[in-house]
Amino acid sequence: MVRENFEEKLNHLNEQVKKMSELSKDALNQSLKSLETQDVEKAQQIIENDPNINALEDEINDIAIWLIAKEQPVAKDLRRLVTTLKITNDIERIGDLAVNVSKSVIRIGDEQLDVEMQDILSMGSIVEKMIDDVIDAFVNEDVNKAFSIADVDDQVDQHYGKTVEKMLNHMAKHPEQIPSVTQLAFISRFLERAADHTTNISEGIIYLVKGKHFDLNA
């Protein structure tokens, strides 16, 4: 019975982690939509909703710490709880990066942008898929999927490099647009960092299953 109760609490934690990841992914998705349409009101709403993600992180952490203190788990059970604490921090940071994207959208405002944004939007789509895949890997303890995230992260890095190069070339030709195009470069950086946080989650999953640390960002 004790073990069953512990498993129930772990399952509840998994569901909350999935919920939190959905909130962060949705925030990122909506922030990019606000960029595409230059919708400042939508961007502001994303900023105002961010405390919901933070509150869920606090709830998950409280439960995980309580279980560690009360149940004194060992081996894989302990690794799962420790990994959960680490993962929620990375998910929360992805939510923060969505807020950063939204702030850049607000700074751009309604200024006309004649720069190609497809690389930025493609980066966003890849990162959203990475979040889906990495949370699925966490719930199912899928090490192979966790390792594959690092390969996808390389694609994001390539998009980032291309985007920054395009932005620099555009600013050289259109110096009057430097402020707004700089914000687009920042957004590219925020997405690249979100991908890195997703890779951090993959490292946690591998540690959970194998009990070994791997640096996938190397």
- pLDDT, residue 3, reads 66
Question: For the residues 79-92, what does the mean pLDDT come to?
Answer: 94
Binned at pLDDT 50, 70 and 90, residue 218 comes out as low
Q: How far is CA 174 from CA 114, 135, 193, in A?
A: 10, 42, 27
Q: Is the pLDDT of residue 217 over 90?
A: no
Q: Is the pLDDT of residue 1 over 50?
A: no
For residue 216, being part of any structural domain is answered with no
CB contact at 8 A, 150 and 192 = no
Binned at pLDDT 50, 70 and 90, residue 10 comes out as confident
The CATH number of whichever domain residue 188 belongs to comes to 1.20.58.220
127 Cβ contact list (under 8 Å, min separation 6)? 28, 156, 191, 194, 195, 198
DSSP string computed for 173-218: H-GGGHHHHHHHHHHHHHHHHHHHHHHHHHHHHHHHHHS----TT-
Q: How far apart are the first and last CA of the chain?
A: 44
Q: pLDDT above 70 covers what percent of the chain?
A: 98
For residue 117, being part of any structural domain is answered with yes
For the stretch 45-69, pLDDT in tens is: 999 999 999 999 999 999 999 999 9
Please identify which residue in the block is written with the tokens 């606090």.
58
How many angstroms separate the CA atoms of 67 and 8, rounded?
12
pTM: predicted TM-score of the whole model, two decimal places: 0.93
Question: For the residues 69-81, what does the mean pLDDT come to?
Answer: 88
For residue 202, being part of any structural domain is answered with yes
Domain enclosing residue 199, as ranges: 1-210
Q: Is the pLDDT of residue 210 over 50?
A: yes
Question: For the residues 113-118, what does the mean pLDDT come to?
Answer: 80
3-state SS, residue 88: helix
Question: For the residues 34-49, what does the mean pLDDT come to?
Answer: 96
For residue 215, being part of any structural domain is answered with no
For residue 37, being part of any structural domain is answered with yes
For residue 60, being part of any structural domain is answered with yes
For the stretch 160-208, pLDDT in tens is: 998 999 999 999 998 999 999 999 999 999 999 999 999 999 999 999 8
- Report how many domains make up the chain: 1
AA letter at 47: I
For residue 218, being part of any structural domain is answered with no
CB contact at 8 A, 77 and 6 = yes
For residue 217, being part of any structural domain is answered with no
**What is the per-residue burial (b if ≥16 Cβ within 10 Å, else e) of 204-216?**
bbbbbbeeeebeb
How many angstroms separate the CA atoms of 183 and 95, rounded?
18
For the stretch 120-154, pLDDT in tens is: 988 999 999 999 999 899 889 999 999 999 889 98
How many angstroms separate the CA atoms of 139 and 134, rounded?
9
- pLDDT, residue 2, reads 60
Q: Is the pLDDT of residue 116 over 80?
A: no
In the predicted model, what is the mean pLDDT of the chain? 91
Residue spans of alpha helices (H) in the chain: 2-37, 40-71, 75-108, 118-140, 143-173, 178-210
